[in-house]
Amino acid sequence: MAIKRPKPEEIVVKLRQVEVLMGQGMPRIDAIRQTGVTEQTYYRWKKKCGGMGAEQLKDLKRLQKAIQRLRRAVPDLTLGKLILPEAARGNF
């Protein structure tokens, strides 16, 4: 069975739900459990995107994907740059 990854909007909503429940006097652990996430997940989300809005979180994910794509492209370009002078000299 595939693992369902929450969307950025869902993460922000769950973090806000915990804050609201804590504001109403509920202990943090109980508030986290009521939202349906584990404590570890809550703290990881809080650390990563605690003060962000949904749009900022979407932008962050989009930028992370772009960075990964560029990191994969750099080795290919570097290799091409090293090979081109060799090919120009006729060593191939």
Number of domains in the chain: 1
- 23 part of a folded domain: yes
Q: For residue 29, tell me if it sits in a domain.
A: yes
Cα–Cα nearest to 18, from 7, 5, 41, 34: 34
pLDDT at 42 over 80: yes
Q: What local confidence, expressed as pLDDT, does residue 72 receive?
A: 87
- This prediction's pTM: 0.60
Q: Residue 43 is part of which domain span?
A: 8-89
Token pair in block for residue 85: 């002078």
Question: What are the tokens at 50?
Answer: 């605690």
**Is residue 67 in a domain?**
yes
Closest CA to 16 of 37, 4, 61: 37
CA distance linking residue 84 with residue 66, whole number of Å:
27
The whole-number pLDDT of residue 28 equals 94
